Structure 1
Amino acid sequence: MDKATNPRLAAQLEELRGQLNRSEARLSDAVHQTELLRQISEAPNLDHLLRLLDTRLAALAGVDGHLIALLDSERDNLVCESLQLPDEFHGVLSTYRRLSFPLNAEDPAVDCLLKNRPRPLRLAELENAPGTTATRLARWRMEAAYCLPIALGERAIGIAMLLTRQATVPPPALAQAEELLRLFRHPLAKAAHHQHLREKEEQLNRAAEAQREFLRFIAEVNNLTSTDSIYDLISREFLDHFPFDLVGVLTRDGEQLRLRRLSAGKLAHEATAEALRRYFSELSFDLDEADGATPMVFLKNSPLYFPDARNIRELPMSDKDRGSLDAMGDPRSIWILPIRRRDAAVGVLWLISLDAPIQRSAQEREVIDLLCSFIGTAMANAELYDTVGSQKRKIEKLNQALQSRVEELRAIAARDPLTGLGNYGTFQAELERRIKEHEREPRRGLSLLLVDVDHFKHFNDTYGHLAGNIVLQEAARRLQDCARTMDLVCRYGGEEFVLLLPKCDTEGAMAVGERIRQSFADTPFPAGREAVSVTVSVGCAQYRAGEGAASFVQRTDEALYRAKHAGRNRVERC
């Protein structure tokens, strides 16, 4: 019986096939979604999550690019975390990474976040709209965009902007994007929160290191009496301490930004610096974002970084930006930063490398940001020198006293006051550092000795604490005599000492331990009018790859325990 003889049966078969195909499609979608959820749950950090989301958004039909921005930790700015554009804009992607959009600015992206509702955007309709979205769409050659909030209930934590070169974003792509954001929103919120915590922790860790450079710079700036001196110091500071070849300072003059000083770090780069000086000798930037990257940095009070200028040569840019690139010939990395006074931009700093691209470390970013925040105030102080001269001298004296006190406290905090050896904190910090050093070159061994003065409590009870202190001081001296120059000797606590022996295996450490034991046993210690025999017990261990500092110390302590319980005045290993 064929379809012609039984049309009803044929229709039923076709309906069943359709149902089967739809079921298979739903099953396939469920499998893909399950796999995506697994990948989301296993993502270790925010960057990994963003890469997952980037991959899915980039695959949407009719979408030519996208931007993802999340709220910063203070919820004052939208920060661009990811940007995907067509291949011809590859060189500009890193420039927009971490670019901030203040929430108090009028901008369609900010409006989408604050109102927590989607917003379609068409370039043709944004000509007179506030903000910089229209400028960005035009530069990226996009005709339309669709801004979606990344929402957690009634509040949004960020936005995703779909970009297209068509008249509108296709509805199927829009629906798929909304579903993706629904899956990613909670993991993104948690990952962003964790990243904010890590960033704050890193800021605290860098603060101490940045303090010394900052205080020195402040003290030196406070000695200057003219803006020209300030410009010279700024240039010297950045050329001496950072890997840049040209440093430029621009300040506001009415509604324009003018180049005040451009300095080269090497004689070989002076010709390039002179060419750029000539270009800007009668030229300035209008305070308009369309006039170039420099006024954009000033107006947005946010830096821009171009890792390699070769990658942006073919991109759209203002005539003045292109002219400055041509004047420099073949510049590489370019960093443009706002000079601030009381958190408001008062000028712009150029940092340019000519020989090769450079990578910015987190520490460099921290220090440079501090310096830029101080430079504006320093320039204002120089202009008002006659009225603040006495205050300047007091500040200089205070800074010098503070620096001396910081150094004094640092030295005190690192030393045991009785023996002059490093203290427990010094040992812990050095142990972590040398373990990391050893992990990079594990062939040479790293060993630890714990030395305990035998029957020290009985000694104190018999001869008094003053005699006990003398024994501890003499013990410290003998331990240092037995150690090598590269070894670290610290007071571990009470009558215990610790020796950290780099480039030393177990056999070598045992030999050092025996030398220490003999130096104590062979020569009596002074105790008032008599000399008293003092012995030590020594525990020894060699570091095992991957075990960590706590396990390393514990094994050494176990060896010391065996030495004490085996009769004392001996060396044991673990």
Structure 2
Amino acid sequence: MITKAKKELINEVATLQRELDETKLALDYANHELSILEKENNLYLEISRSSGLASLLDILGVQIESIRGIDGFLVNLIDPEYSCLVCEKIVLPEEFKGIAPTYQKYKHSLGKKDVNVAAYNNKHVLYVNSKNIDEYPDSKARFQRWKIHGLACIPLMYGNSTPIGVLQIFSQTRDIPTKVEKLAEGCSNFFCSQLKNSMRIAELERLETTFKKAHDEQKKFLEFVEKENHLAKVGQVYEHFLQEMLFRYKFDLAGIVIKEEDKLVVQQNIVIDEQYSSILEEWNEYYKKVTYDIDPFDGATSTAFCQKTHLIVRDVMEVLHLPMSEKDRRALKILKTPRTFLFVPIIRGEEIIGIVWLITLSQPIAISDNDLAVIQMLGRFLGAVIENAETYEVVEAQKDEISELNICLEQKISELNESLEDLKQTQDYLVQTEKMAALGGLVAGVAHEINTPVGIGVTTASHLKDRTLWINSLYQDGAITHGALKSYLSVAIESTDIILQNMGRAAELINSFKQIAVDQTCDYLRKFKIKEYIDEILVSVGPNFKNTPFEIEVICPQEFEINSYPGAISQILTNLLMNSLIHGFEHADQGTINIEVVKRKDVVYLSYQDTGCGIAEENVTRIFEPFYTTKRGQGGSGLGLQIVYNQVTQTLCGKICCQSTFGKGVKFDLEFPVDLENFDPVIE
């Protein structure tokens, strides 16, 4: 009995021991699960408390780095326009950490054959090693440069079907095991929802910052453009542009390199901080002797030029150990402590003509996408301004010739002094801006027309003086005869008639031009009859059309009176007429310009049409763009029709459109208020 009871007791204890062990195992499992939940909860809490996209990516980076078997990783997120993947987080092995900032914000276009793009587009994990890297040629260079053995690209999915980016993990010693990829994928899944929200918030913050800066940037840019457009020398353009770059941004040294034949030649360098004056002096001496070949291997400047794109070295001190041209290495020694380099192409039309250097000499700086976009735009603007400055130098030379002619006329014909002085002052003012360039042409034409009657007057006056001296000599000698006196009086009467006739013609030309010149330089709102004013404009441009086979027809009610800015209308029609003459009728043997004006209710409808060569279809939509011209390099600045557009839409509060078929002429339709003083644009 005792033995049986003892056995039952032993069995019962064993059972209890098994249950106790099972309970302990269950408790350990529960504690393990609780620990995992606590870690997940803490991670969720840390994620929820993150202050932005950068801090969230830092948290993700810590989690990825904690996974064994990963030597480096990149987080590439889709940009707001869904056009490319942008590298927002990068961690490289120790030997490559110095170049990691260079790849920050690197963009992978969705059209490239890149492993990140493929994983994003296909929405599934891609494993890559030396056996299949050739399938992704746009990734191969980085694969080899970073000594990667194997990598995995994991799409970051928001929900079940929407990718928001790619996590790339890699190893330098082996292929990425499936287990490691799954751990990284599971880790990244925790972040996808919050990443999406942070991306939205970051984009909203970016837009808000952009909007806040937009007004100030626009104001600064317009002031800068106005100053640049007033400069008539290329050297002045260089200096003012570089000063503006140093004042606007945190660079210490700026320079301009321009293509001359088959070399890139340094034109000018400046600093604004005197502590760098000695460096600038040595830098300038170096580049008096050194030029760059048009070869991407001849230096960073040549690389940016050949690739026709900007180049950023965020911190030179971190890449000094990398291969570079001997020219660049010697230049960096002169700078002593170079940090951030930015190379920006100078574009004229579609052609690259040079490079702008922007360099810091003490601390590296961050260049925002917005600042970079503005600087690149300024590089394009600089290309146009350089071309304009070259044109201005020619205009200045012409202006000097006209001034000399005016001085000569003032000395010989005193009665024309005041009118010619007004004309000269008008010229001096108008040539300062492209907006008034057309009037400069009119001045030259009128001056040429004046020269003929004035020349005849001077010649006749000189002849009369000689005859007067002759008759006076006879009188002094007491040898004057009736015949001599009669001959002298005949010459005097004929000469005075010729002088009066030609001086009258000169005065008529000046008076016909005077009102147009005054309106274009000192325009004010007034009432005038538009038909009479158009006729005055045609008189002013008449010298340009003289001896040409082209006819101008005007259809307009004689008594049609408007209350507007006559100078704006003069500027519009002058530009259109000169465009037809220079461009439309360039190779024509005959042609007609029709100007028709009608009134409908309170609106003036003005139609301008010529029978010239017309405008190519692909160019019609661009003719009102600033600096757009088909005469680049032939004196065309690309501002004539842009001035017309601004005068119509801003000064006259109207509208303008263009219709053209190549080979069949062009037509401009304008409409603007009859009474601008009482015009309410809000009601309209």
Note the C-alpha offset of 1:69.
1.6
Change (3 A) 1:270 1:374: closer
Distance 1:102 1:277 in 2: 37
1:382 alignment partner AA: I
Other structure's SS at 1:331 match? coil
Shift in CA distance, 340/146, structure 1 to aligned 2, threshold 3 Å: farther
- Counterpart selection for 1:212 from 219, 231, 236: 219
Structure 1 residues 342 and 54, CA gap change in structure 2 (3 angstroms): farther
Query: Quick one: distance in 2 between partners of 1:343 and 1:178?
Result: 48
Deviation digits for residues 185-231 of structure 1 (CA, Å, limit 9, x no counterpart): 11101111111001111111112222232112212222356765544
CA distance in 2 between counterparts of 1:197 and 1:36 reads 25
CA displacement 1:387-434 (0-9 Å, x = unmatched):
99899934599xxxxxxxxxxxxxxxxxxxxxxxxxxxxxxxxxxxxx
Answer 1 or 2: higher relative contact order, Cα 8 Å, separation at least 6: 1
Q: What are the within-5 Å matches in structure 2 for residues 7-156 of structure 1?
A: 24-122=31-129, 125-126=132-133, 129-131=136-138, 133-152=139-158, 153-156=160-163
The equivalent of 2:197 in structure 1 is 190
Separation in structure 1 between the aligned mates of residue 269 and residue 114 of structure 2, nearest angstrom = 37
Cα distance in 2 between the residues matched to 1:320 and 1:100: 30
Shift in alpha-carbon separation, 1:56–1:95, aligned structure 2, 3 A: same
Q: Give, in angstroms, the shift of residue 312 of structure 1.
A: 2.8
Q: Which residue of 2 aligns with 1:393?
A: 433
Match for 1:267 among 261, 274, 277? 277
In the TM superposition, what are the counterparts of 1:32-431 in structure 2 within 5 Å? 32-122=39-129, 125-126=132-133, 129-131=136-138, 133-152=139-158, 153-224=160-231, 230-250=237-257, 258=264, 260-261=266-267, 263-265=269-271, 266-274=276-284, 277=287, 280-286=290-296, 295=303, 299=307, 301=309, 304-306=312-314, 308-314=315-321, 316-319=322-325, 323=329, 326-328=332-334, 330-339=336-345, 346=352, 348-354=355-361, 356-360=362-366, 366=370, 369-383=373-387, 386=391, 393-395=433-435
Q: Distance in 2 between matches of 1:261 and 1:144?
A: 48
1:75 CA displacement = 2.0
Partner of 1:421: none
Contact 1:122 1:143 in 2 (8 A): yes
CA contact (8 A) 1:299 1:345 kept: no
Name 1:430's counterpart in structure 2: none
Task: Tell me the secondary structure at the aligned position of residue 222 of structure 1.
Answer: helix
Amino acid at match of 1:145: L
**Separation (CA, whole Å) in 2 of partners of 1:282 and 1:221:** 28
- Percent of aligned pairs with the same amino acid: 20
CA–CA distance in 2 between the matches of 1:175 and 1:264?
55
TM-fit CA distance, 1:269: 1.4
Contact 1:339 1:373 in 2 (8 A): no
Amino acid of the residue matched to residue 278 of structure 2? A
The answer to whether the 8 Å contact 2:348/2:384 transfers is no
Q: What is the CA distance between 1:142 and its match in structure 2?
A: 2.9
Matching residue's letter, 1:137: F
Name the structure 2 match of 1:453: none
Helix, strand or coil: the match of 1:61?
Answer: coil
Shift, 1:83, TM fit: 1.0
The answer to whether the 8 Å contact 1:224/1:230 transfers is: yes
Q: Which letter maps to 1:164?
A: S
Partner SS state of residue 219, structure 2: helix
Deviation at 1:19, TM superposition (A): 6.8
Change (3 A) 1:303 1:14: farther
Q: Which amino acid aligns with 1:92?
A: I
SS of residue paired to 2:147:
coil
Distance 2:328 2:135 in 1: 26
Cα distance in structure 2, aligned partners of 1:124 and 1:392: 66
Structure 1-normalised TM-score?
0.56
Q: Write the distance in 2 (CA, Å) between the matches of 1:333 and 1:23.
A: 55
What is the TM-score when the length of structure 2 is the normalising length? 0.48
Structure 1 128/103 Cα, relative in aligned 2: closer, same or farther at 3 Å? closer
Gap change, CA 1:302 and 1:267, over 3 Å in 2: closer
Matched residues in 1 for 2:86 and 2:31: separation? 41
Q: CA deviation at 1:176?
A: 1.0
What SS does the corresponding residue of 2:155 show, helix, strand or coil?
A: strand
Q: 1:293 to 1:342 in 2, by over 3 A?
A: closer
SS in 1 for 2:112: coil
Q: In structure 2, how many angstroms separate the alpha carbons of the residues matched to 1:144 and 1:169?
A: 6
SS in 1 for 2:183: helix
> Per the alignment, do residues 241 and 178 of structure 1 end up closer, same or farther by CA in structure 2, a change over 3 Å counting?
closer
> 1 CA distance for matches of 2:436 and 2:122?
50
Q: What is the distance in 2 between the residues matched to 1:123 and 1:253? A: 45
Listed one character per residue, the Cα deviations across residues 124-154 of structure 1 (whole Å, up to 9, x for unaligned) are 75468432x3333333333332211112232
CA positional deviation for 1:281: 1.7
Cα distance, 1:57 vs structure 2? 0.8
Greater mean deviation of Cα atoms: 150-159 or 261-270: 261-270
Q: Which amino acid aligns with 2:312?
A: L
Aligned mates of 2:31, 2:263 — CA distance in 1: 63
SS in 1 for 2:81: coil
Q: Is the radius of gyration larger for structure 1 or structure 2?
A: 2
Cα deviation, 1:499-525, whole Å, max 9, x if unaligned, reads xxxxxxxxxxxxxxxxxxxxxxxxxxx
CA contact (8 A) 2:150 2:174 kept: yes
Residues 292, 244 of structure 1: alpha-carbon distance in 2 compared, 3 angstrom cutoff: closer
SS class of match (1:169): coil
Q: Quickly say closer, same or farther: Cα 1:236–1:329, change in 2 above 3 A.
A: closer
Contact 1:219 1:396 in 2 (8 A): no
The answer on whether the counterparts of 1:210 and 1:366 sit within 8 Å (CA) in structure 2 is no
Q: Which amino acid aligns with 1:139?
A: R
User: Gapped runs of 5+ residues in structure 1?
Assistant: 398-574
Query: Larger deviation: 321-330 or 383-392?
Result: 383-392
Whole-angstrom distance in 1 between the partners of 2:60 and 2:180: 14
CA shift at 1:96, angstroms?
2.6
Structure 2, gaps ≥5 residues long: 1-5, 396-429, 438-684
CA distance, structure 2, for counterparts of residue 111 and residue 75 of structure 1: 14
